[in-house]
Amino acid sequence: MYRLSAARRLRGDVTIPGDKSISHRAVMFSSIARGETVIRNFLTSADCLSTMACFRKLGIRIEESPSDPSHIRVFGKGMHGLSPESSPVFLDTGNSGTTTRIMSGILAPQKFTSVLSGDDSLNSRPMKRIMEPLSLMGADIISEKGNGCAPLRIRGSALHGIDYRSKVASAQVKSAILCAGLYAEGTTLVHEPSLSRDHTERMLAAFGADVKSEPEGSGAPAGGADPAGGGASFSGILPADELYSPGEITVPGDISSAAYFIAAACLVPDAQVRIRNVGINPTRDGMLRAARAMGAEIVLENQNDDVEPCADLVVKTSSLKGTVIGGGIIPALIDELPVLAVMAALAEGETIIKDAAELKVKESDRIAVVTENLKAMGADITATDDGMIIRGGKPLHGALIHTYGDHRIAMSFAVAALAAEGETILDDETCCSVSYPSFFQDLLGLVEGA
Ligand code: S3P
C-alpha cells in the first residue's frame, strides 16, 4: 500500500536509471562475445537482475563493483562458450518477457537443453510469437503445458536462416530471431509492420555482427530506416563465427522511466524539471512526439550520440489538449501508453489511442487496467479492442488503485495521484522494482513540501 496526494510544485533535476531494454541486451551480448565488457549505468532492477542470474547459471562470470552495483563486468566466453552445470538447465526469468523471449533465440542453437520459466504473470504471456519463427529456423522449442506460454523447453539444435514476416511490431520477437540468426546457416530476415526498437541491431553491430534495419522496399543504407515515418521495415543478420566485446557500454537513462517525470512535470501546476541523460533513440521517442502533439513543453539539451542518442529533457507545466495516437508510432511508445492515458484524462478534449492491442498482453491487460483505474479516479474513458477513448478535461480525484502487480500501472497512477484532488492509494507499489526500484524516492524528491 502506498499513499500519495496532490503536488503543488515540482522542481529540480533527476537522473533516471539505465534503460531496461539496453541493459538486458548488454548482458546477453557481452556473455556470448569474446572478452571482457564493462557496462556502466546498468539497470539493477528485478527484470535485468533476472537476465544477469540466468547468464551466471549458464557459466558466465559477472562482477558488480562493490561501490556501484550499476557498474558491472561481464567476462564473455564467446558464441559457443555457455556452459551450464546441468542439461537441462532451469532458468528463472522472473517477470521479464524480454529475458524469456530474447534468450530463447540465444538458447535455441546451443548444445544443451534449457527450461525457461517465470512468475505467474510471465507464464501467462504469449510465447507462440517466438516459438513459431524459431521452429521455422529448426529450433526444438515446446511450451511444457501446451498452452503457448512458458515454461518453455528448448533442446539445442542446428538452425537455418528464414525470411519471416512478423504480424506484430515486437522488438522481443525480432531480437529472438536475430540472435538465433547469428548462429544459423544463411541470412535471416525479419519484416515488421513498423520498425520496433532497434537496440539489438545497434548493439550487435557494435559487437561486430553484420546486421542492419531498413525501411521496406528502399535501398537506404544501414541504419537508414526512418522510424518516425512508422512504415514497414525489415532487419537482417548474417551468421557470425564470433562476436567481440567493444570493451565498454554506457547505458543511457530509460525514456520509459523518464516518461513518468515528463507527465508529472506537464501536469503539476508549478513545475520545471530537468531529466538528465535520457535515451532518445528514434525508435523509442514516441513519448516525446505524442506529448508534444498534446502541447507538452519539452526542450532537449546537451544532446550526444554514441551507439544510442541521448539528451537532457527540460519539461515544464503545460496546457495539454487531446490527440490521436495510433499507427506506426505505437511501437515507439507502447510502454508509455498508460501514462499518456493519464495525461489525456487531464487534457482538454478527446484523445484516441488505437492500433495498440499489444497492450492486452503486457505485464497486465493494460487497456482494461488503465480504464478501470482512470474510471475510479473520475475520468471519462472507454476501452476499445485496440486502445482507449478518453474524453479529457474533468478533474481527477483520489481513489484506490489496483496495480495488478504491473510496474507501469503503479508508476502511471502515482503521477495521476500528484495531479488529483485528495488521497490516492496504490494497492501495491513494490512492483516498481521490476524496472525502477528508486522510483518513489526520485519522484517525491522533486515534490516541494512533500
Ligand atoms: C522490449 C520490447 C517491448 C516492450 C518491452 C521491452 C524490449 O515489448 O514492451 O517492455 O526490450 O525488446 P514487445 O517487443 O513485445 O513489443
Atom number, ligand 1, closest to the C-alpha of residue 335: 9
* SS3 of residue 239 by DSSP: coil
Q: Which fold has domain 2-17+252-448?
A: UDP-n-acetylglucosamine1-carboxyvinyl-transferase; Chain (3.65.10)
CA of 385 to the centre of ligand 1 (A): 20
Query: Is-contact 209 244, C-beta < 8 A?
Result: no
Contact 211, 192 (CB under 8 A): no
How many residues make up the chain in this entry?
450
**Residue 21 Cα, ligand 1 centroid: separation in angstroms?**
7
- Report whether 194 contacts 120 (CB < 8 A): no
* Contact (CB, 8 A) for 15 and 276: yes
The ligand 1 site (C-beta within 6 Å) comprises 21, 98, 170-172, 175, 196-197, 334-335, 358
Span between the terminal Cα atoms of the chain, in Å: 18
Instruction: Tell me what pLDDT residue 230 has.
Output: 72
- Name the residue at shortest CA distance from atom 16 of ligand 1: 170
CB 41 within 8 A of CB 88: no
Mutate to test the pocket of ligand 1, among 19, 98, 190, 200 (most ligand atoms within 8 A of CB): 98
Alpha carbon distance 198, 244 (integer Å): 20
Q: Calculate how far, in angstroms, residue 395's C-alpha sits from the geometric centre of ligand 1.
A: 32
Q: Which pLDDT belongs to residue 364?
A: 97
Residues 376/399, Cβ–Cβ less than 8 Å: yes
Q: Taking a C-beta distance cutoff of 8 angstroms, is the pair 102, 114 a contact?
A: no
Delimit the domains of the chain by residue range: 2-17+252-448, 20-250
For ligand 1, pick from 190, 334, 355, 435 the residue to mutate: most ligand atoms within 8 Å of CB. 334
Which residues contact residue 224 at a Cβ distance below 8 angstroms, ignoring those fewer than 6 apart?
214, 215, 218
- What is residue 449's predicted lDDT score, i.e. its pLDDT? 59
Q: Whose CA is nearest to atom 15 of ligand 1?
A: 170
What confidence tens digit (pLDDT) does each residue in 117-172 have? 999 999 999 999 999 999 999 999 999 999 999 999 999 999 999 999 999 999 99
Instruction: Return the exposure string of 51-85: e unless at least 16 CB atoms fall within 10 Å of the residue's CB, then b.
Output: bbbbbebbebebeeeeeeebbbebebbebebbebe
CA nearest ligand 1 atom 9, residue? 335
CA 251 to ligand 1 centroid distance, Å: 17
Judge: domain 20-250, CATH 3.30.70.1350: no
**pLDDT less than 50: residues of the chain:** 219-227
Residue 175 CA to ligand 1 center (angstroms) comes to 10
Which residues lie closer than 8 Å to 147 by C-beta, 6 or more apart?
none
User: Active-site positions?
Assistant: 335
Q: At what angle do helices 199-206 and 171-183 cross, to 10 degrees?
A: 30
Q: How far apart are CA 50 and CA 93, in angstroms?
A: 5
- Any idea which residue has 541486451 for its cell? 25
Please name the residue whose Cα sits nearest to atom 10 of ligand 1.
Answer: 335
Domains 2-17+252-448 and 20-250 share a fold: yes
User: Of all atoms in ligand 1, which is nearest to the CA of residue 168?
Assistant: 16
CA distances from 80 to 73, 206, 246 (A): 19, 19, 18
